[in-house]
Structure 1
Protein backbone atom coordinates (compact mmCIF):
# COMPACT_ATOMS: atom_id res chain seq x y z
CA UNK A 1 0.00 0.00 0.00
CA UNK A 2 1.19 3.50 -0.88
CA UNK A 3 -0.58 6.30 1.00
CA UNK A 4 -0.77 9.36 -1.24
CA UNK A 5 -2.31 12.19 0.72
CA UNK A 6 -1.60 15.79 1.52
CA UNK A 7 -0.86 18.76 -0.68
CA UNK A 8 2.89 18.26 -1.10
CA UNK A 9 3.56 21.80 0.08
CA UNK A 10 7.26 21.13 0.71
CA UNK A 11 7.65 20.56 -3.04
CA UNK A 12 5.99 23.81 -4.06
CA UNK A 13 6.04 25.20 -6.74
CA UNK A 14 6.25 21.79 -8.48
CA UNK A 15 3.13 20.47 -6.75
CA UNK A 16 0.96 23.59 -6.73
CA UNK A 17 -1.06 22.22 -9.66
CA UNK A 18 0.17 18.62 -9.71
CA UNK A 19 -0.15 15.58 -7.47
CA UNK A 20 3.20 14.78 -5.83
CA UNK A 21 3.41 11.25 -7.32
CA UNK A 22 2.95 12.80 -10.77
CA UNK A 23 5.92 15.15 -10.57
CA UNK A 24 8.48 14.35 -13.27
CA UNK A 25 11.41 12.40 -11.83
CA UNK A 26 14.37 11.32 -13.97
CA UNK A 27 12.24 11.93 -17.08
CA UNK A 28 9.40 9.78 -15.83
CA UNK A 29 6.77 10.16 -13.14
CA UNK A 30 7.72 9.70 -9.50
CA UNK A 31 5.01 7.07 -8.97
CA UNK A 32 6.36 5.09 -11.93
CA UNK A 33 9.80 4.92 -10.36
CA UNK A 34 8.31 3.64 -7.09
CA UNK A 35 6.16 1.05 -8.89
CA UNK A 36 9.06 -0.12 -11.05
CA UNK A 37 11.15 -0.76 -7.90
CA UNK A 38 8.30 -2.82 -6.45
CA UNK A 39 7.91 -4.70 -9.74
CA UNK A 40 11.61 -5.57 -9.74
CA UNK A 41 11.16 -6.90 -6.21
CA UNK A 42 8.29 -9.20 -7.17
CA UNK A 43 5.28 -7.18 -6.01
CA UNK A 44 2.25 -7.71 -8.27
CA UNK A 45 -0.56 -5.83 -6.51
CA UNK A 46 -0.49 -2.28 -5.13
CA UNK A 47 -3.16 -0.26 -3.35
CA UNK A 48 -2.86 3.52 -3.70
CA UNK A 49 -4.21 5.58 -0.82
CA UNK A 50 -5.21 8.54 -2.97
CA UNK A 51 -6.80 11.48 -1.20
CA UNK A 52 -7.98 14.74 -2.73
CA UNK A 53 -8.85 15.77 -6.27
CA UNK A 54 -5.37 16.13 -7.79
CA UNK A 55 -4.03 13.00 -6.13
CA UNK A 56 -6.79 10.78 -7.47
CA UNK A 57 -7.37 12.39 -10.86
CA UNK A 58 -3.75 12.71 -11.94
CA UNK A 59 -2.68 9.26 -10.75
CA UNK A 60 -5.73 7.40 -12.03
CA UNK A 61 -5.65 9.12 -15.43
CA UNK A 62 -2.01 8.10 -15.79
CA UNK A 63 -2.04 4.56 -14.39
CA UNK A 64 -5.58 3.32 -14.68
CA UNK A 65 -5.75 -0.16 -13.14
CA UNK A 66 -2.52 -1.64 -14.49
CA UNK A 67 1.15 -0.67 -14.36
CA UNK A 68 3.26 -2.32 -17.05
CA UNK A 69 7.02 -2.62 -17.20
CA UNK A 70 9.48 -4.81 -19.08
CA UNK A 71 11.98 -6.61 -16.87
CA UNK A 72 14.72 -8.67 -18.51
CA UNK A 73 12.70 -8.87 -21.70
CA UNK A 74 9.47 -10.00 -20.05
CA UNK A 75 6.35 -7.92 -19.47
CA UNK A 76 5.53 -7.43 -15.80
CA UNK A 77 2.11 -6.15 -14.70
CA UNK A 78 1.17 -4.71 -11.32
CA UNK A 79 -2.53 -4.56 -10.54
CA UNK A 80 -3.50 -1.14 -9.20
CA UNK A 81 -6.37 -0.48 -6.79
CA UNK A 82 -7.41 2.79 -5.21
CA UNK A 83 -8.68 4.11 -1.93
CA UNK A 84 -12.45 4.61 -2.15
CA UNK A 85 -13.83 8.12 -2.09
CA UNK A 86 -13.52 8.62 1.65
CA UNK A 87 -11.61 11.36 3.44
CA UNK A 88 -8.71 10.28 5.64
CA UNK A 89 -7.00 12.09 8.49
CA UNK A 90 -3.59 10.49 8.06
CA UNK A 91 -1.70 7.72 6.30
CA UNK A 92 -2.67 5.07 8.88
CA UNK A 93 -6.32 6.00 8.46
CA UNK A 94 -5.88 5.74 4.69
CA UNK A 95 -4.55 2.19 5.13
CA UNK A 96 -7.49 1.31 7.40
CA UNK A 97 -9.97 2.53 4.77
CA UNK A 98 -8.35 0.31 2.16
CA UNK A 99 -8.05 -2.84 4.30
CA UNK A 100 -11.72 -2.46 5.24
CA UNK A 101 -12.93 -1.75 1.72
CA UNK A 102 -10.96 -4.56 0.09
CA UNK A 103 -11.39 -6.98 3.01
CA UNK A 104 -7.65 -7.45 3.53
CA UNK A 105 -6.44 -9.59 6.42
CA UNK A 106 -2.87 -10.41 5.29
CA UNK A 107 0.46 -8.83 6.17
CA UNK A 108 0.87 -5.51 4.38
CA UNK A 109 3.92 -3.63 3.08
CA UNK A 110 3.65 0.17 3.35
CA UNK A 111 5.80 2.64 1.42
CA UNK A 112 5.16 6.38 1.38
CA UNK A 113 4.28 8.19 -1.83
CA UNK A 114 7.29 10.50 -1.60
CA UNK A 115 9.82 7.74 -0.91
CA UNK A 116 12.49 6.67 -3.37
CA UNK A 117 14.24 3.58 -2.05
CA UNK A 118 15.86 0.28 -2.84
CA UNK A 119 13.80 -2.25 -0.90
CA UNK A 120 14.85 -5.87 -0.57
CA UNK A 121 11.31 -7.04 0.08
CA UNK A 122 12.24 -10.70 0.55
CA UNK A 123 14.85 -10.03 3.22
CA UNK A 124 12.62 -7.50 4.94
CA UNK A 125 9.68 -9.88 5.09
CA UNK A 126 11.79 -12.82 6.30
CA UNK A 127 13.08 -10.62 9.10
CA UNK A 128 9.56 -9.49 9.95
CA UNK A 129 8.32 -13.08 10.16
CA UNK A 130 11.29 -14.43 12.11
CA UNK A 131 11.07 -11.65 14.69
CA UNK A 132 7.30 -12.20 15.10
CA UNK A 133 6.85 -8.44 15.02
CA UNK A 134 3.55 -6.67 15.36
CA UNK A 135 5.07 -4.03 13.08
CA UNK A 136 8.47 -3.75 11.43
CA UNK A 137 9.89 -0.33 10.60
CA UNK A 138 12.66 0.03 8.03
CA UNK A 139 15.43 2.20 9.47
CA UNK A 140 18.23 3.95 7.65
CA UNK A 141 21.49 5.19 9.14
CA UNK A 142 22.14 8.87 8.51
CA UNK A 143 25.41 10.46 9.57
CA UNK A 144 24.77 14.08 8.57
CA UNK A 145 23.68 15.89 11.79
CA UNK A 146 21.61 18.45 9.89
CA UNK A 147 19.65 15.75 8.07
CA UNK A 148 19.04 13.92 11.34
CA UNK A 149 17.11 16.95 12.54
CA UNK A 150 14.48 16.32 9.87
CA UNK A 151 13.42 12.82 10.95
CA UNK A 152 12.38 10.60 13.81
CA UNK A 153 15.46 8.89 15.26
CA UNK A 154 15.00 5.40 16.75
CA UNK A 155 16.16 4.17 20.12
CA UNK A 156 16.52 0.38 19.84
CA UNK A 157 17.55 -2.35 22.28
CA UNK A 158 20.11 -5.08 21.61
CA UNK A 159 17.50 -7.13 19.73
CA UNK A 160 16.46 -4.20 17.47
CA UNK A 161 13.15 -3.74 19.27
CA UNK A 162 12.25 -0.07 19.02
CA UNK A 163 11.87 1.57 22.43
CA UNK A 164 10.93 5.02 21.20
CA UNK A 165 11.55 7.72 18.57
CA UNK A 166 13.01 11.15 19.09
CA UNK A 167 11.24 13.37 16.58
CA UNK A 168 13.25 16.01 14.73
CA UNK A 169 15.97 16.28 17.40
CA UNK A 170 17.51 19.69 18.00
CA UNK A 171 20.81 18.25 19.26
CA UNK A 172 21.94 15.25 17.18
CA UNK A 173 25.03 14.75 19.35
CA UNK A 174 22.89 13.43 22.21
CA UNK A 175 20.94 10.89 20.14
CA UNK A 176 20.88 7.16 21.00
CA UNK A 177 21.47 6.19 17.35
CA UNK A 178 21.68 7.50 13.80
CA UNK A 179 18.79 5.31 12.61
CA UNK A 180 15.80 7.18 11.21
CA UNK A 181 12.27 6.11 10.34
CA UNK A 182 12.03 5.72 6.55
CA UNK A 183 8.23 5.45 6.45
CA UNK A 184 8.53 1.90 5.07
CA UNK A 185 6.64 -0.58 7.24
CA UNK A 186 5.50 -4.18 7.35
CA UNK A 187 2.22 -4.61 9.20
CA UNK A 188 1.36 -8.01 10.60
CA UNK A 189 -2.06 -9.63 10.35
CA UNK A 190 -2.56 -8.67 13.99
CA UNK A 191 -1.80 -5.06 13.11
CA UNK A 192 -4.48 -5.20 10.42
CA UNK A 193 -6.88 -6.45 13.10
CA UNK A 194 -5.78 -3.52 15.27
CA UNK A 195 -6.82 -1.11 12.51
CA UNK A 196 -10.36 -2.53 12.81
CA UNK A 197 -10.41 -2.39 16.60
CA UNK A 198 -12.27 -0.04 18.93
CA UNK A 199 -8.80 0.93 20.20
CA UNK A 200 -7.83 2.45 16.85
CA UNK A 201 -11.31 3.85 16.21
CA UNK A 202 -11.00 5.76 19.46
CA UNK A 203 -7.71 7.24 18.23
CA UNK A 204 -9.41 8.34 15.01
CA UNK A 205 -12.13 10.11 16.99
CA UNK A 206 -9.33 12.12 18.59
CA UNK A 207 -7.94 13.02 15.16
CA UNK A 208 -4.99 10.62 15.48
CA UNK A 209 -4.54 8.81 12.17
CA UNK A 210 -0.88 9.22 11.22
CA UNK A 211 1.70 6.43 11.52
CA UNK A 212 4.67 8.51 12.57
CA UNK A 213 2.97 11.10 14.73
CA UNK A 214 0.26 9.00 16.37
CA UNK A 215 0.19 5.25 15.82
CA UNK A 216 3.83 4.26 16.29
CA UNK A 217 4.29 6.20 19.57
CA UNK A 218 1.04 4.68 20.84
CA UNK A 219 2.08 1.12 19.97
CA UNK A 220 5.47 1.55 21.62
CA UNK A 221 3.88 3.00 24.75
CA UNK A 222 1.53 0.01 24.96
CA UNK A 223 4.46 -2.45 24.60
CA UNK A 224 3.50 -3.81 21.18
CA UNK A 225 6.46 -5.50 19.50
CA UNK A 226 7.71 -2.87 17.05
CA UNK A 227 10.94 -4.01 15.42
CA UNK A 228 13.58 -2.11 13.47
CA UNK A 229 15.13 -3.39 10.23
CA UNK A 230 18.21 -1.55 8.99
CA UNK A 231 18.35 -1.06 5.23
CA UNK A 232 21.67 -0.86 3.42
CA UNK A 233 20.09 0.30 0.16
CA UNK A 234 19.56 3.88 -0.93
CA UNK A 235 16.66 5.80 0.56
CA UNK A 236 15.39 9.34 -0.04
CA UNK A 237 12.39 11.21 1.24
CA UNK A 238 11.84 13.34 -1.87
CA UNK A 239 9.25 15.54 -0.22
CA UNK A 240 11.52 18.60 -0.36
CA UNK A 241 13.15 20.32 -3.31
CA UNK A 242 16.66 19.72 -1.97
CA UNK A 243 16.10 16.01 -1.41
CA UNK A 244 14.35 15.74 -4.79
CA UNK A 245 17.50 17.03 -6.49
CA UNK A 246 19.79 14.95 -4.28
CA UNK A 247 17.87 11.77 -5.12
CA UNK A 248 17.89 12.56 -8.82
CA UNK A 249 21.65 12.99 -8.95
CA UNK A 250 22.37 10.01 -6.73
CA UNK A 251 20.30 7.66 -8.88
CA UNK A 252 21.65 9.10 -12.11
CA UNK A 253 25.16 8.33 -10.93
CA UNK A 254 24.59 5.02 -9.17
CA UNK A 255 21.83 2.84 -10.61
CA UNK A 256 22.11 0.77 -13.75
CA UNK A 257 21.18 2.53 -16.96
CA UNK A 258 18.40 0.02 -17.71
CA UNK A 259 16.47 1.32 -14.72
CA UNK A 260 16.64 4.76 -16.30
CA UNK A 261 15.34 3.52 -19.67
CA UNK A 262 18.63 4.55 -21.27
CA UNK A 263 18.95 3.34 -24.86
CA UNK A 264 22.19 4.99 -26.02
CA UNK A 265 25.30 5.99 -24.08
CA UNK A 266 28.12 8.18 -25.34
CA UNK A 267 30.85 9.09 -22.88
CA UNK A 268 29.00 10.78 -19.99
CA UNK A 269 25.68 11.29 -21.75
CA UNK A 270 22.74 8.92 -21.25
CA UNK A 271 20.09 9.14 -23.97
CA UNK A 272 16.54 7.81 -23.79
CA UNK A 273 14.18 6.77 -26.59
CA UNK A 274 13.88 3.66 -28.73
CA UNK A 275 12.10 4.90 -31.85
CA UNK A 276 13.78 5.55 -35.19
CA UNK A 277 13.37 9.27 -34.60
CA UNK A 278 15.02 8.97 -31.19
CA UNK A 279 17.94 7.02 -32.62
CA UNK A 280 18.47 9.75 -35.23
CA UNK A 281 18.42 12.34 -32.43
CA UNK A 282 21.06 10.31 -30.59
CA UNK A 283 23.31 10.20 -33.66
CA UNK A 284 22.93 13.94 -34.18
CA UNK A 285 23.84 14.69 -30.56
CA UNK A 286 26.82 12.30 -30.61
CA UNK A 287 28.15 14.03 -33.74
CA UNK A 288 27.86 17.41 -32.01
CA UNK A 289 29.71 16.10 -28.96
CA UNK A 290 32.42 14.46 -31.09
CA UNK A 291 33.03 17.68 -33.04
CA UNK A 292 32.98 19.79 -29.86
CA UNK A 293 29.89 21.72 -30.92
CA UNK A 294 28.34 20.93 -27.55
CA UNK A 295 30.13 20.11 -24.29
CA UNK A 296 29.06 17.75 -21.53
CA UNK A 297 30.69 17.19 -18.14
CA UNK A 298 29.56 14.92 -15.32
CA UNK A 299 26.76 12.46 -16.02
CA UNK A 300 23.76 13.80 -17.92
CA UNK A 301 20.37 12.28 -18.74
CA UNK A 302 18.72 13.33 -22.00
CA UNK A 303 15.09 12.42 -22.69
CA UNK A 304 13.30 11.54 -25.91
CA UNK A 305 13.14 14.01 -28.80
CA UNK A 306 15.32 16.61 -27.09
CA UNK A 307 16.93 19.24 -29.32
CA UNK A 308 20.19 20.83 -28.22
CA UNK A 309 21.72 23.68 -30.23
CA UNK A 310 25.37 24.48 -30.81
CA UNK A 311 27.76 25.91 -28.21
CA UNK A 312 25.70 24.53 -25.33
CA UNK A 313 27.57 23.54 -22.19
CA UNK A 314 25.85 21.04 -19.90
CA UNK A 315 27.13 19.85 -16.54
CA UNK A 316 25.50 17.05 -14.50
CA UNK A 317 21.93 17.80 -15.54
CA UNK A 318 18.66 16.10 -16.47
CA UNK A 319 16.70 17.21 -19.55
CA UNK A 320 13.24 15.75 -20.09
CA UNK A 321 11.36 14.78 -23.25
CA UNK A 322 10.61 17.21 -26.09
CA UNK A 323 12.67 19.98 -24.53
CA UNK A 324 14.40 22.45 -26.86
CA UNK A 325 17.65 24.07 -25.74
CA UNK A 326 18.88 26.56 -28.30
CA UNK A 327 22.44 27.82 -28.77
CA UNK A 328 25.00 29.42 -26.46
CA UNK A 329 23.32 28.11 -23.28
CA UNK A 330 24.88 26.83 -20.08
CA UNK A 331 23.01 24.28 -17.95
CA UNK A 332 24.66 23.33 -14.66
CA UNK A 333 23.44 20.88 -12.01
CA UNK A 334 19.83 21.47 -13.01
CA UNK A 335 16.68 19.58 -13.87
CA UNK A 336 14.71 20.70 -16.94
CA UNK A 337 11.32 19.04 -17.15
CA UNK A 338 9.50 18.06 -20.32
CA UNK A 339 8.46 20.27 -23.21
CA UNK A 340 10.37 23.28 -21.99
CA UNK A 341 12.04 25.82 -24.28
CA UNK A 342 15.27 27.64 -23.48
CA UNK A 343 16.19 30.40 -25.91
CA UNK A 344 19.73 31.52 -26.79
CA UNK A 345 22.26 32.70 -24.23
CA UNK A 346 20.60 31.47 -21.03
CA UNK A 347 22.36 30.26 -17.89
CA UNK A 348 20.52 27.80 -15.62
CA UNK A 349 22.39 26.69 -12.53
CA UNK A 350 21.34 24.57 -9.50
CA UNK A 351 17.70 24.97 -10.45
CA UNK A 352 14.56 22.97 -11.24
CA UNK A 353 12.57 24.06 -14.28
CA UNK A 354 9.01 22.73 -14.39
CA UNK A 355 7.04 21.37 -17.33
CA UNK A 356 6.31 23.43 -20.43
CA UNK A 357 8.34 26.42 -19.26
CA UNK A 358 9.55 29.06 -21.74
CA UNK A 359 12.80 30.85 -20.92
CA UNK A 360 13.75 33.85 -23.03
CA UNK A 361 17.11 34.98 -24.39
CA UNK A 362 20.03 35.86 -22.11
CA UNK A 363 18.16 34.82 -18.96
CA UNK A 364 20.02 33.86 -15.80
CA UNK A 365 18.37 31.44 -13.35
CA UNK A 366 20.44 30.51 -10.28
CA UNK A 367 19.40 28.29 -7.37
CA UNK A 368 15.70 28.72 -8.18
CA UNK A 369 12.58 26.67 -8.84
CA UNK A 370 10.02 27.30 -11.55
CA UNK A 371 6.57 25.70 -11.60
CA UNK A 372 4.80 24.41 -14.69
CA UNK A 373 3.94 26.60 -17.66
CA UNK A 374 5.96 29.62 -16.51
CA UNK A 375 7.13 32.19 -19.08
CA UNK A 376 10.34 34.12 -18.43
CA UNK A 377 10.99 37.21 -20.53
CA UNK A 378 14.33 38.06 -22.13
CA UNK A 379 17.32 39.31 -20.08
CA UNK A 380 15.68 38.41 -16.77
CA UNK A 381 17.60 37.34 -13.66
CA UNK A 382 16.06 34.98 -11.11
CA UNK A 383 18.23 34.25 -8.08
CA UNK A 384 17.31 32.13 -5.03
CA UNK A 385 13.62 32.38 -5.88
CA UNK A 386 10.51 30.34 -6.64
CA UNK A 387 7.97 31.07 -9.37
CA UNK A 388 4.50 29.51 -9.06
CA UNK A 389 2.89 27.82 -12.09
CA UNK A 390 1.34 29.77 -14.97
CA UNK A 391 3.11 33.04 -14.12
CA UNK A 392 4.67 35.36 -16.71
CA UNK A 393 7.78 37.33 -15.75
CA UNK A 394 8.40 40.44 -17.85
CA UNK A 395 11.65 40.96 -19.72
CA UNK A 396 14.59 42.53 -17.87
CA UNK A 397 13.12 41.69 -14.46
CA UNK A 398 15.44 41.08 -11.50
CA UNK A 399 13.99 38.69 -8.92
CA UNK A 400 16.07 37.76 -5.91
CA UNK A 401 15.13 35.84 -2.75
CA UNK A 402 11.41 35.94 -3.54
CA UNK A 403 8.38 33.75 -4.08
CA UNK A 404 6.21 34.84 -7.00
CA UNK A 405 2.84 33.29 -6.12
Structure 2
Protein backbone atom coordinates (compact mmCIF):
# COMPACT_ATOMS: atom_id res chain seq x y z
CA UNK A 1 0.00 0.00 0.00
CA UNK A 2 1.30 3.44 -0.91
CA UNK A 3 1.50 6.01 1.88
CA UNK A 4 -0.85 8.90 2.28
CA UNK A 5 0.45 12.23 0.93
CA UNK A 6 0.59 15.55 2.77
CA UNK A 7 1.39 18.56 0.60
CA UNK A 8 2.46 21.58 2.63
CA UNK A 9 1.30 24.89 1.19
CA UNK A 10 2.44 28.02 3.00
CA UNK A 11 4.30 31.25 2.50
CA UNK A 12 3.37 34.24 0.39
CA UNK A 13 5.37 33.39 -2.73
CA UNK A 14 6.85 36.89 -2.93
CA UNK A 15 9.59 35.83 -5.36
CA UNK A 16 6.89 35.05 -7.94
CA UNK A 17 5.01 38.36 -7.68
CA UNK A 18 2.74 39.32 -9.42
CA UNK A 19 1.79 35.70 -10.27
CA UNK A 20 1.10 34.98 -6.59
CA UNK A 21 -0.81 38.13 -5.68
CA UNK A 22 -4.17 36.34 -5.94
CA UNK A 23 -3.19 32.69 -5.58
CA UNK A 24 -0.72 30.46 -3.71
CA UNK A 25 2.51 29.52 -5.50
CA UNK A 26 1.47 25.87 -6.05
CA UNK A 27 -1.41 27.07 -8.24
CA UNK A 28 0.84 29.00 -10.61
CA UNK A 29 0.48 27.29 -13.96
CA UNK A 30 3.20 25.71 -16.06
CA UNK A 31 2.04 24.56 -19.52
CA UNK A 32 -1.58 25.31 -18.50
CA UNK A 33 -1.42 23.08 -15.40
CA UNK A 34 -0.89 24.16 -11.79
CA UNK A 35 2.46 23.18 -10.26
CA UNK A 36 0.75 21.16 -7.53
CA UNK A 37 -1.45 19.33 -10.06
CA UNK A 38 1.68 18.27 -11.95
CA UNK A 39 3.18 17.03 -8.67
CA UNK A 40 0.04 15.10 -7.73
CA UNK A 41 -0.13 13.59 -11.23
CA UNK A 42 3.38 12.13 -10.78
CA UNK A 43 2.37 10.66 -7.42
CA UNK A 44 -1.07 9.42 -8.44
CA UNK A 45 0.23 7.79 -11.63
CA UNK A 46 2.51 5.65 -9.41
CA UNK A 47 -0.17 4.56 -6.98
CA UNK A 48 -0.78 7.33 -4.42
CA UNK A 49 -4.51 7.74 -3.79
CA UNK A 50 -4.90 9.68 -0.55
CA UNK A 51 -3.96 13.36 -0.47
CA UNK A 52 -4.09 16.02 2.26
CA UNK A 53 -3.48 19.66 1.46
CA UNK A 54 -1.80 21.29 4.44
CA UNK A 55 -2.60 24.86 3.50
CA UNK A 56 -1.88 27.81 5.73
CA UNK A 57 -4.69 30.33 6.17
CA UNK A 58 -8.21 30.72 4.80
CA UNK A 59 -7.18 32.24 1.46
CA UNK A 60 -4.84 29.40 0.52
CA UNK A 61 -7.40 26.78 1.57
CA UNK A 62 -10.19 28.46 -0.40
CA UNK A 63 -8.08 28.74 -3.56
CA UNK A 64 -6.94 25.12 -3.38
CA UNK A 65 -10.40 23.74 -2.60
CA UNK A 66 -11.86 25.72 -5.51
CA UNK A 67 -9.21 24.21 -7.79
CA UNK A 68 -9.34 20.56 -6.68
CA UNK A 69 -12.78 20.30 -5.01
CA UNK A 70 -12.88 16.73 -3.58
CA UNK A 71 -10.41 15.54 -6.22
CA UNK A 72 -12.88 13.60 -8.34
CA UNK A 73 -12.18 15.61 -11.50
CA UNK A 74 -8.42 15.31 -11.02
CA UNK A 75 -8.55 11.53 -10.70
CA UNK A 76 -11.07 11.18 -13.53
CA UNK A 77 -8.73 12.97 -15.95
CA UNK A 78 -6.05 10.41 -15.04
CA UNK A 79 -8.45 7.51 -15.51
CA UNK A 80 -8.18 6.54 -11.82
CA UNK A 81 -11.28 5.18 -10.09
CA UNK A 82 -9.87 3.63 -6.88
CA UNK A 83 -9.23 6.85 -5.01
CA UNK A 84 -10.29 8.69 -1.88
CA UNK A 85 -11.45 12.30 -1.66
CA UNK A 86 -8.89 15.02 -1.08
CA UNK A 87 -8.70 16.29 2.50
CA UNK A 88 -7.83 19.79 3.64
CA UNK A 89 -6.06 21.00 6.75
CA UNK A 90 -8.70 22.76 8.88
CA UNK A 91 -8.28 26.49 9.20
CA UNK A 92 -5.10 26.62 11.21
CA UNK A 93 -2.42 29.28 10.91
CA UNK A 94 0.52 26.91 11.16
CA UNK A 95 4.02 28.20 11.88
CA UNK A 96 5.69 26.20 9.09
CA UNK A 97 5.91 22.82 7.40
CA UNK A 98 6.83 20.86 10.55
CA UNK A 99 3.98 22.48 12.47
CA UNK A 100 1.57 21.58 9.65
CA UNK A 101 2.90 18.00 9.76
CA UNK A 102 2.33 17.79 13.52
CA UNK A 103 -1.16 19.24 13.28
CA UNK A 104 -2.33 17.10 10.35
CA UNK A 105 -0.96 13.84 11.78
CA UNK A 106 -2.89 14.52 14.96
CA UNK A 107 -6.09 15.85 13.36
CA UNK A 108 -6.34 13.04 10.77
CA UNK A 109 -4.98 10.47 13.28
CA UNK A 110 -2.32 9.21 10.87
CA UNK A 111 -0.70 6.03 12.18
CA UNK A 112 1.11 4.87 9.04
CA UNK A 113 4.04 6.14 6.99
CA UNK A 114 3.33 9.59 5.56
CA UNK A 115 4.77 11.08 2.39
CA UNK A 116 5.30 14.83 2.83
CA UNK A 117 5.97 17.07 -0.16
CA UNK A 118 6.27 20.78 -0.74
CA UNK A 119 3.24 21.86 -2.75
CA UNK A 120 5.33 24.05 -5.07
CA UNK A 121 7.77 21.25 -5.90
CA UNK A 122 8.43 19.85 -9.36
CA UNK A 123 9.91 16.39 -9.01
CA UNK A 124 10.08 13.15 -10.95
CA UNK A 125 10.85 10.23 -8.64
CA UNK A 126 10.38 6.46 -8.52
CA UNK A 127 8.01 6.16 -5.57
CA UNK A 128 8.36 2.37 -5.38
CA UNK A 129 12.13 2.59 -4.91
CA UNK A 130 11.82 5.42 -2.41
CA UNK A 131 9.22 3.60 -0.29
CA UNK A 132 11.15 0.29 -0.49
CA UNK A 133 14.34 2.02 0.69
CA UNK A 134 12.47 3.57 3.63
CA UNK A 135 10.84 0.31 4.68
CA UNK A 136 14.12 -1.59 4.38
CA UNK A 137 16.00 0.75 6.72
CA UNK A 138 13.05 1.62 9.03
CA UNK A 139 14.24 5.14 9.88
CA UNK A 140 12.19 7.88 11.45
CA UNK A 141 12.58 9.85 8.22
CA UNK A 142 13.85 9.33 4.68
CA UNK A 143 14.76 12.43 2.65
CA UNK A 144 15.00 12.48 -1.13
CA UNK A 145 18.34 14.11 -1.91
CA UNK A 146 19.89 15.40 -5.10
CA UNK A 147 23.54 16.07 -5.87
CA UNK A 148 24.02 19.68 -6.91
CA UNK A 149 26.53 20.48 -9.61
CA UNK A 150 29.73 22.36 -8.63
CA UNK A 151 28.77 25.43 -10.67
CA UNK A 152 25.38 25.88 -8.95
CA UNK A 153 24.82 28.01 -5.83
CA UNK A 154 24.09 25.89 -2.77
CA UNK A 155 23.21 28.67 -0.32
CA UNK A 156 19.44 28.36 -0.88
CA UNK A 157 19.23 24.67 0.02
CA UNK A 158 19.41 22.35 2.98
CA UNK A 159 22.53 20.17 2.71
CA UNK A 160 23.04 16.67 4.13
CA UNK A 161 26.18 14.83 5.23
CA UNK A 162 25.83 11.10 4.58
CA UNK A 163 27.78 8.10 5.79
CA UNK A 164 28.51 5.00 3.68
CA UNK A 165 25.13 3.47 4.66
CA UNK A 166 23.20 6.52 3.39
CA UNK A 167 22.37 7.62 6.92
CA UNK A 168 22.28 11.39 7.36
CA UNK A 169 24.86 12.29 10.02
CA UNK A 170 24.48 16.05 9.75
CA UNK A 171 22.20 18.61 8.11
CA UNK A 172 22.72 22.33 7.51
CA UNK A 173 20.00 24.63 6.22
CA UNK A 174 21.21 27.20 3.67
CA UNK A 175 24.95 27.09 4.44
CA UNK A 176 27.32 29.83 3.38
CA UNK A 177 29.20 29.04 0.19
CA UNK A 178 32.26 26.96 0.98
CA UNK A 179 30.98 25.73 4.34
CA UNK A 180 28.58 23.08 3.02
CA UNK A 181 29.24 19.50 4.25
CA UNK A 182 28.51 18.01 0.80
CA UNK A 183 26.70 18.75 -2.46
CA UNK A 184 23.69 16.59 -1.51
CA UNK A 185 20.67 18.87 -1.19
CA UNK A 186 17.22 18.46 0.28
CA UNK A 187 14.44 18.26 -2.36
CA UNK A 188 11.63 18.77 0.20
CA UNK A 189 10.33 15.25 -0.49
CA UNK A 190 10.05 13.15 2.68
CA UNK A 191 8.76 9.85 4.01
CA UNK A 192 8.03 9.89 7.74
CA UNK A 193 7.45 6.99 10.10
CA UNK A 194 4.38 7.45 12.32
CA UNK A 195 6.80 7.50 15.27
CA UNK A 196 7.56 11.12 14.30
CA UNK A 197 4.38 12.11 16.14
CA UNK A 198 6.09 11.50 19.48
CA UNK A 199 9.12 13.59 18.51
CA UNK A 200 6.96 16.46 17.27
CA UNK A 201 4.96 16.41 20.49
CA UNK A 202 8.18 16.57 22.52
CA UNK A 203 9.58 19.43 20.41
CA UNK A 204 6.44 21.54 20.67
CA UNK A 205 6.93 25.08 19.30
CA UNK A 206 10.56 24.35 18.41
CA UNK A 207 9.35 22.30 15.41
CA UNK A 208 8.33 24.88 12.86
CA UNK A 209 10.14 24.10 9.62
CA UNK A 210 11.09 20.58 8.49
CA UNK A 211 14.42 21.59 6.98
CA UNK A 212 15.30 24.36 9.39
CA UNK A 213 14.22 22.77 12.68
CA UNK A 214 13.11 19.15 12.50
CA UNK A 215 15.86 17.46 10.44
CA UNK A 216 18.74 19.12 12.37
CA UNK A 217 17.06 18.14 15.65
CA UNK A 218 16.70 14.52 14.55
CA UNK A 219 20.29 14.15 13.36
CA UNK A 220 21.78 15.97 16.36
CA UNK A 221 19.88 13.73 18.76
CA UNK A 222 20.76 10.43 17.10
CA UNK A 223 17.43 9.59 15.50
CA UNK A 224 17.73 7.45 12.34
CA UNK A 225 17.39 9.65 9.25
CA UNK A 226 18.35 8.36 5.80
CA UNK A 227 18.75 9.96 2.40
TM-score under structure 1 normalisation? 0.52
The structural deviation recorded for 1:52 is: 1.7
User: Contact 2:58 / 2:91 at 8 angstroms: preserved in 1?
Assistant: no
Change (3 A) 1:181 1:159: same
Provide the aligned length of Structure 1 versus Structure 2.
Answer: 219
Q: 1:15 aligns with which of 12, 20, 43?
A: 20
Residue 152 of structure 2 corresponds to residue 146 of structure 1: yes
Q: After the TM superposition, which parts of structure 1 deviate over 3 Å for at least 4 consecutive aligned residues? A: 74-78
User: Contact 1:36 / 1:69 at 8 angstroms: preserved in 2?
Assistant: no
Change (3 A) 1:112 1:161: same
For residues 4-403 of structure 1, the aligned pairs below 5 Å read 4-66=9-71, 67-71=74-78, 74-76=79-81, 77=83, 79-172=85-178, 175-195=180-200, 197=201, 199-201=202-204, 204=205, 206=206, 208-228=207-227
2:80 match: secondary structure: strand
Question: Deviation per CA, 1:178-235, whole angstroms, max 9, x where unpaired?
Answer: 110111111012113333x3x122xx1x5x411011111111111000111xxxxxxx
Taking only aligned residues, the RMSD between alpha carbons, in angstroms, comes to 1.7
Change (3 A) 1:69 1:141: farther
User: Contact 2:57 / 2:92 at 8 angstroms: preserved in 1?
Assistant: no
Q: Considering Cα pairs closer than 8 Å and 6+ residues apart, tell me whether 1 or 2 has the greater RCO.
A: 2
If each structure's strand is expressed as a fraction of its own residues, which one has the higher value?
A: 1
Segments of structure 1 that go 5 or more residues without pairing to the other structure are: 229-405
Q: Looking at CA atoms only, which structure, 1 or 2, has the larger radius of gyration?
A: 1
The structural deviation recorded for 1:78 is: 5.4
If each structure's helix is expressed as a fraction of its own residues, which one has the higher value?
A: 2
Segments of structure 2 that go 5 or more residues without pairing to the other structure are: 1-5
Counterparts of 2:148 and 2:19, CA distance in 1: 27
Change (3 A) 1:125 1:24: same
TM-score under structure 2 normalisation? 0.90
